[in-house]
């Protein structure tokens, strides 16, 4: 799944013109746009001089957002659509730098040309013949959209790459997995992971759903984590069910094995069937009578008291060990 998402992100970066938009081609003169467009340049930065207001504007949702200007050079006319945003623009613009997209004339541009021809008492065909087929459109330059999209996709790609690299490391060095480091720290035994692997390979008692049970350990696997629990440290175990919905329709019922492990350490093995959980609960009930089983309010209170007693006892032992070391 991570590789699929990364492939989609890479495809988006390839198909969309991020480089062209975020680093537009600098053009010094308006009459150079035809040459640029013929060489696959769409996004430009240009400083406009001696361009004149046509008298026509563009509106979006009833609001003024751009005005049409024109540039004349060697009897050649070029239309320029300049962002307006309701402010008053001068009739002539000089030393006015914009970032814009080169687009082929559309129906709006053709309509402006026809109306200009009427105002100038010129034939429509005559004005069209000297007007460039390309419009410089500042409103079509969506740099903010591309910037936000590039940042978002970049962050997602970094997260996915970190996830992939970390999983490769865990595959090569399993003991480096956070679950193993955490469990080894709790157990205070460097060989405990080896013991777990040995019991899983040679002394597996039950494998039910995504939970494996050996003589001394319960190992719960999820798509993103591994939980390793010494059975002797379990205080309370129970199951609870969850309905998975699509809109208001109940789609699937799954069961979760929840375990209180020590002081305020909860482990959940979710996505099982009821039969998967029952097998584990029945085994614990038969072989480990000291574990509180089943969810009731009384069991919840008793489990918290028991876990607190164990925690305080461990805390006291730790203090005594430190005193002996001093």
Residues 279-316: tens digit of each pLDDT: 888 988 999 888 889 888 898 888 888 888 877 777 77
Residue 138 is predicted with a pLDDT of: 92
Domain ranges of the chain: 25-140, 195-320
Which pLDDT score, from 0 to 100, does residue 86 have?
Answer: 66
pLDDT of residue 264: 67
Instruction: Please list the residues that pair with 45 across neighbouring strands.
Output: 26, 99
For position 151, what pLDDT does the model report?
A: 94
Supply the pLDDT for residue 31. Answer: 85
The answer to whether the CB of 254 falls within 8 A of the CB of 270 is yes
Global confidence as pTM:
0.61
Q: How far apart are CA 41 and CA 277, in angstroms?
A: 63
Residues of the chain with pLDDT under 50: none
Q: Which pLDDT score, from 0 to 100, does residue 190 have?
A: 64
Q: How far is CA 318 from CA 183, 233, 312, 313, 314, in A?
A: 18, 17, 10, 9, 6
Which pLDDT value is given to residue 99? 92
Tell me which architecture the domain covering 195-320 has in CATH: Roll (2.30)
CA distance 215 to 137: 73
How would you class 88 by CB atoms within 10 Å of its CB: exposed for 0-12, middle for 13-18, buried for 19 or more? exposed
């Amino acid at each position: 799944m991570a590789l699929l998402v990364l492939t989609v992100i890479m495809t988006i970066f390839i198909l969309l013109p991020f480089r062209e938009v975020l680093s537009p081609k600098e053009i010094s003169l308006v009459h150079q746009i035809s040459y640029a467009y013929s060489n696959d340049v769409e996004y430009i930065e240009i400083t406009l001089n001696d361009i004149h207001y046509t008298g026509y504007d563009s509106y979006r949702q009833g609001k003024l957002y751009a005005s049409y200007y024109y540039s004349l050079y060697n009897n050649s006319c070029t239309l320029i659509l300049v962002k307006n945003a309701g402010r008053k623009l001068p009739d002539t613009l000089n030393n006015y730098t914009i970032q814009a997209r080169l687009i082929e004339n559309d129906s709006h541009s053709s309509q402006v040309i026809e109306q200009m021809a009427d105002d100038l008492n010129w034939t429509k065909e005559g004005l069209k013949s000297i007007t460039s087929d390309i419009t410089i459109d500042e409103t079509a330059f969506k740099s903010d959209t591309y910037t936000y999209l590039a940042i978002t996709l970049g962050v997602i790609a970094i997260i996915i790459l970190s996830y992939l690299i970390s999983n490769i490391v865990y595959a090569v060095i399993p003991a480096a997995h956070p679950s193993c480091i955490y469990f080894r720290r709790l157990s205070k035994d460097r060989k405990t992971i080896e013991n777990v692997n040995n019991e899983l390979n040679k002394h597996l008692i039950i494998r039910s759903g995504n939970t494996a049970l050996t003589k001394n350990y319960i190992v719960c696997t999820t798509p993103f984590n591994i939980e390793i629990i010494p059975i002797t440290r379990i205080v309370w175990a129970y199951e609870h069910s969850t309905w998975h919905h699509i809109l208001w329709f109940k789609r699937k019922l799954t069961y979760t094995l929840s375990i209180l492990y020590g002081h305020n350490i909860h482990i959940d093995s979710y996505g099982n069937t009821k039969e998967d959980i029952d097998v584990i609960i029945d085994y614990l009930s038969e072989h480990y009578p000291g574990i509180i089983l089943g969810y009731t309010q009384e069991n919840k209170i008793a489990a918290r008291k028991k876990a607190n007693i164990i925690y305080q006892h461990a805390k006291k032992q730790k203090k005594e060990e430190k005193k002996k070391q001093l």
